[in-house]
Structure 1
Amino acid sequence: MRSIELFAGAGGLGIGASEAGFHPAKVVEWDDYCVETIRENQQRRLGIVKGWPVVHGDVRHVDFSPHHGQVDLVSGGPPCQPFSLGGKHRAHKDSRDLWSEAVRAVRETQPRVFIFENVKGLLRDTFASYVSYIQLQMQYPSLDRKEDEDWADHLSRLERHHTSGKEPEYRLVMRLQNAANFGVPQRRERVFFVGFRADLGIEWNFPDQTHSLDALIWDQVVTGAYWERNKVATRDRVINPRHEARAKVLQRTFGGLPEGTSRKPWRTVREALAGLPDPELNPEVAAELLNHRFQAGARSYPGHTGSPLDEPAKTLKAGVHGVPGGENMLLRPDGSVRYFTVRESARLQTFPDKYKFHGSWSETMRQLGNAVPVQLAAVVARDVATHLQSA
């Protein structure tokens, strides 16, 4: 199956789609460092990106019409800074808002399906009208915005068209998903937009969650299976008080995990980093691995406390606000903190260990902080691919 990847970044969504069986006809990214990351891995002949035809440039200058009717999937993550909870929340007033370009790619290629994703901040109440605008554009991509029409007038025209009884060109599903619920060792919420071309008649829903917090709590607090599985001595076991309280509720109310709860526990930082030498304690050994060097300067203060070793990591941030690296720190059981290395952060984002990131620590952390976890992307893309093949 053929695809086009927009706003590729360091490659998270694209790698996930490739793992699901989509082969890109075009991969578009404007950022120099992200492009160098992809190209450096191509030069290293890393199979998952080796054949990607990368277009290094502004998506607004790319003509997609030669691919009309020839691709199955258009995917990507339009720049999220206009909606990020850590940004200035300018949305459609921000020049980095390129949702219209994502819709244009769909209009010019008419793929069988599209997958777009963005940050949780997109769902803020202040953006509600604009989110409706995005959704209606995706459902009716051929109803393009006129030259003299602002977005609000275009929205009104789309609403009239939608309520006139016209059949949508794409049947759209939107949902907020937490990556931790799909085995990613990080609490990371992303909004997904998945639309199948209406003429295909495909019925689709998001894949069921495979992992749960309650299962992790049960393993840590009630059975102790988590500690035994990871060979953690009793003196090194630090349990979140909220998890202890929840365990009591589970025992008292349900006598175990509630019916329908995913039995696989959330994956933790400890499990994600298994096998990696500590870069602070063993710098020479760590330096032999890709992107695994100690970064000094981490410190804890209110609102900046790091990720506990025995829980999924907090959301990795792009590091452009406040202290460099944002919240990208490991919190050890003894209370000390240090920054995650780039390799550790890549593990938390489920990138392959052989995937190398180009640039300085702060630059590579920006790439990782903006990325979609590969595993989450692959879960969605595989399910989409299965439905396309069945159709």
Structure 2
Amino acid sequence: MNHLSLFSGIGGIDLAAEWAEMKTVAFCEREPFPQKVLKKHWPDAPIYDDVKTLTKERLEADGIDTGAIGIISAGYPCQPESYAGKRKGKDDNRWLWPEAFRIIQEIQPRWFVGENVAGHITMGLDSVLTDLESIDYEAQTFVIPAAAVGAFHRRDRVFIVANISSLRVEGSCAEQILGKSDLSIRQTGKSFQEAERRFNTFESRLCRTLHGLPNGVDRVKSLGNAVVPGQIYPILAAIKAIDDMIQQS
């Protein structure tokens, strides 16, 4: 299952996608330090540096088969909705959901997964869900704290899971994700405990390198913006299993 990653950061969602046996065919990330991290771990995938200029046509010109992209993820900037900021919402120039939505419209993947802070629930989320519904996607939201997967901080995150309505999925998206998560994890050949262990190793290695080494500020900033891979792994693993069953039926 091919995956396009928008607002990639240091690849938290993309690491989870790899665990779920998805292939990330391209990234979109503008910050230099996260770009270095992505290049190190996914050297063969191109990185686009401006979501505003990324289009289906540009991807295809670069040899990427957009028709084979089954899922798009987007951890679009949280500052417009975060309780830690001024909460200007759509009036904040960092409100970039419209760009993600444009790309979803152009490519029309079978699945979309969005990620944002808990403050998104009371600011902006209704617009996102309405936009997705307007182009025939059915969406459900989940709130998962990082602490639920063994992290040392709470870090609630909102995940928007949407599938295009033409998919032959019986029951709601939420029922499929929750009801088939155990099956999906078995089918990927990994246990949730193994995913959690790998994440904790990933996090601890990064944290140990923060002091006394170059890029310390960039590392802290990138970790603060990153999705904990263990938070989203069960969702992506379930999507992969459900999608495999649909494509085979």
Q: TM-score range by the shorter chain?
A: 0.7 to 0.9
Asked if the contact 2:2–2:70 (Cα under 8 Å) also holds between the matched residues in 1, the reply is yes
Asked if the contact 2:6–2:29 (Cα under 8 Å) also holds between the matched residues in 1, the reply is yes
Tell me which of 122, 127, 133 is aligned to 1:139.
133
Q: Higher helix fraction: Structure 1 or Structure 2?
A: 2
Secondary structure at the aligned position of 1:88 is classed as: coil
- 2:39 matches 1:54: no
Letter in 1 for 2:231: L
How far has the Cα of 1:295 moved from its partner? 4.0
The share of aligned pairs that are identical, in percent, is: 25
- 2:228 matches 1:367: no
Secondary structure at the aligned position of 2:21 is classed as: coil
Letter in 2 for 1:187: R
Secondary structure at the aligned position of 2:67 is classed as: coil
Question: Which runs of structure 2 are paired with 1:102-251 in the superposition (5 Å)?
Answer: 102-124=100-122, 127=123, 130-141=124-135, 169-202=136-169, 203=171, 204-205=173-174, 206-207=177-178
Rounded to whole Å, the distance in 2 between the matches of 1:132 and 1:372 is 22
How far has the Cα of 1:52 moved from its partner? 2.3
Deviations along 1:106-126, one digit per CA (max 9) or x if unpaired, are 1011101010110011123xx
Asked if the contact 1:68–1:108 (Cα under 8 Å) also holds between the matched residues in 2, the reply is no
- 2:3 matches 1:3: yes
Asked if the contact 1:70–1:109 (Cα under 8 Å) also holds between the matched residues in 2, the reply is no
Deviations along 1:164-206, one digit per CA (max 9) or x if unpaired, are xxxxx11111122222223444312101111011111224324
Q: CA RMSD in A?
A: 2.6
Rounded to whole Å, the distance in 1 between the matches of 2:33 and 2:55 is 23
Give 2:96's aligned residue. 98
Rounded to whole Å, the distance in 1 between the matches of 2:206 and 2:2 is 31
**Comparing both chains, which one has the higher relative contact order based on Cα–Cα distances under 8 Å and sequence gaps of 6 or more?**
2
Rounded to whole Å, the distance in 1 between the matches of 2:13 and 2:114 is 9
CA 1:22–1:294 in structure 2 vs 1: closer, same or farther (change >3 Å)? Answer: closer
Rounded to whole Å, the distance in 2 between the matches of 1:294 and 1:390 is 43
Asked if the contact 1:83–1:122 (Cα under 8 Å) also holds between the matched residues in 2, the reply is yes
Give 2:73's aligned residue. 75
Give 1:29's aligned residue. 29
How far has the Cα of 1:136 moved from its partner? 0.8
How far has the Cα of 1:291 moved from its partner? 6.4
- 2:240 matches 1:385: yes
Asked if the contact 1:184–1:376 (Cα under 8 Å) also holds between the matched residues in 2, the reply is no
- 2:64 matches 1:64: no
CA 1:290–1:179 in structure 2 vs 1: closer, same or farther (change >3 Å)? Answer: closer
How far has the Cα of 1:68 moved from its partner? 4.2
Asked if the contact 2:8–2:28 (Cα under 8 Å) also holds between the matched residues in 1, the reply is yes
Secondary structure at the aligned position of 1:36 is classed as: helix
Letter in 2 for 1:363: D
CA 1:87–1:372 in structure 2 vs 1: closer, same or farther (change >3 Å)? Answer: same
Asked if the contact 1:29–1:58 (Cα under 8 Å) also holds between the matched residues in 2, the reply is yes
Rounded to whole Å, the distance in 1 between the matches of 2:210 and 2:74 is 32
CA 1:292–1:380 in structure 2 vs 1: closer, same or farther (change >3 Å)? Answer: same
Rounded to whole Å, the distance in 2 between the matches of 1:103 and 1:122 is 16
Secondary structure at the aligned position of 1:69 is classed as: helix
Asked if the contact 2:143–2:156 (Cα under 8 Å) also holds between the matched residues in 1, the reply is yes
Deviations along 1:289-309, one digit per CA (max 9) or x if unpaired, are 77635749xxxxxxxxxxxxx
Give 1:165's aligned residue. none
Rounded to whole Å, the distance in 2 between the matches of 1:122 and 1:294 is 29
Deviations along 1:234-254, one digit per CA (max 9) or x if unpaired, are xxxxxxxxxxxxxxxxxxxxx
Unaligned stretches of 5+ residues in structure 2:
182-192
Secondary structure at the aligned position of 1:200 is classed as: coil
